């Protein structure tokens, strides 16, 4: 077993390696008649991006690359791996990534003009959590609305919005004061036996209590703080109290909504014993997207149209 130090590669070696890999992807795209090859962050992203591309270009073929070899020889996925190809993209080879905070921070050159697609939401999961989409999944799954998810995610947004503004503000003055892991932990909420009652009121109450404690802590810790500039900036980018659930980490919200949906589905089966098996709530949730119904999905579709029209 070789336990020696990992080799250090020069910037030129990295550039040449990923340039050659990109050249191979483009050649394979032409060979097999694809419109473009698209490097995704991982295999799970294919469900979302496949639906978007099929919606915009139903008659075109796209090749998804969910992982590729790093310069060290390992099969690697993730956003960092996608961005290794940033200098070698063109009409035949794109990348598609979760925005995380890139859109909110207006990171330069992450746009369709540079052959990069982004979700605009924190991650692709946020799109599936759009309230009307979750309601549609619940209706298809159970035939009625036990939870009005449109109201639920709006209330969720109102609660977490001040914390999102605080995090953006503290990034500039004290980055360690509110790390992402703390925000993610706050958004990880348990599902109790009565969680689905009153449009998820018990869950929202717990979230409100957690958020209030953290807000009070920041106000005491930074009495001179004025995050209003960041709130105005959020407004300029289309982020406000009603929709900020699209801009916080989507994985936590997605798990929360799917867990609630599973509970509602199970209760529905208990009331109607003739229902056996069948599709899961999650499969209904991910079976469609609400194209044209909110700004973030419209921006994304416009980017796909721009790239695919060449």
The first and second tokens of residue 209, run together, are 């209590």
Q: How much is the mean pLDDT over the chain? A: 93
Q: What is the mean pLDDT of residues 234-261?
A: 96
CB atoms within 10 A of CB 285: 23
* Own/partner pairs, 148-151, CB within 8 angstroms, 24+ separation: 148/199, 149/257, 151/199
Q: Are 164 and 184 in contact (CB under 8 A)?
A: no
pLDDT tens by residue, 181-218: 999 999 999 988 889 899 999 999 999 999 999 999 99
- Determine the pLDDT at residue 1: 47
Of all residues in the chain, the percent with pLDDT exceeding 90 is 83
pLDDT at residue 225 is higher than 90: no
13-17, 177-181, 223-227, 292-296: least confidently modelled range: 223-227
Res 230: pLDDT: 86
Task: Count CB neighbours of 127 within 10 A.
Answer: 25
Q: What is the pLDDT of residues 65-108, one digit of tens each?
A: 999 999 999 999 999 999 999 999 999 999 999 999 999 999 99
Nearest to 270 by CA among 137, 134, 144, 142: 142
Q: Is 219's pLDDT higher than 90? A: yes
Q: Which neighbouring-strand residues pair with 90?
A: 93
What is the DSSP secondary-structure string of 14-78? Answer: HHHHHHHHHHHHHHHHHHTT-SEEEE-SSTTHHHHHHHHHHHH-TT--EEEE--EE-TTS-EE-S
Distance CA 221, CA 217 (A): 6
Using a cut of 0.85, tell me whether the model's pTM lies above it.
yes
């Amino acid at each position: 077993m070789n336990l020696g130090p990992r080799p250090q590669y020069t910037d030129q070696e990295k550039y040449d390696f990923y340039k050659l890999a990109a050249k191979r992807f483009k050649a394979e795209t032409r060979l097999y008649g694809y419109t473009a090859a698209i490097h995704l962050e991982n295999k799970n992203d294919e469900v979302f991006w496949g639906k978007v591309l099929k919606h915009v270009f139903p008659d075109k073929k796209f090749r998804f690359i969910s992982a590729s070899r790093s310069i060290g020889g390992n099969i690697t996925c993730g956003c960092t791996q996608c961005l290794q190809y940033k200098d070698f993209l063109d009409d035949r080879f794109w990348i598609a990534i979760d925005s995380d905070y890139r859109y909110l921070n207006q990171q330069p050159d992450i746009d369709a003009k540079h052959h990069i697609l982004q979700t605009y939401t924190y991650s692709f999961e946020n799109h599936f959590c759009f309230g009307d989409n979750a309601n549609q999944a619940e209706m298809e799954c159970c035939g009625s609305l036990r939870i009005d998810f449109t109201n639920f995610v709006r209330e969720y947004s109102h609660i977490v919005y001040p914390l999102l503004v605080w995090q953006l503000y503290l990034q500039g003055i004290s980055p360690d004061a509110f790390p992402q892991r703390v925000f993610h932990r706050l958004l990880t909420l348990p599902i109790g036996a009565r969680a689905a009652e009153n449009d998820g009121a018990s869950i929202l109450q717990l979230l409100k209590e957690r958020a209030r404690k953290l807000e009070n802590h920041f106000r005491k810790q930074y009495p001179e703080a004025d995050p209003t500039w960041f709130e105005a900036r959020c407004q300029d980018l289309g982020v406000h109290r009603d929709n900020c659930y699209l801009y916080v980490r989507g994985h936590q919200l997605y798990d929360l909504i799917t867990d609630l949906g599973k509970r509602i589905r199970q209760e529905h089966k208990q009331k109607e014993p003739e229902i056996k098996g069948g599709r899961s709530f999650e499969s209904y949730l991910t079976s469609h997207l609400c194209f044209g119904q909110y700004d973030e999905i419209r921006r994304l579709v416009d980017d796909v149209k721009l790239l695919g029209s060449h």
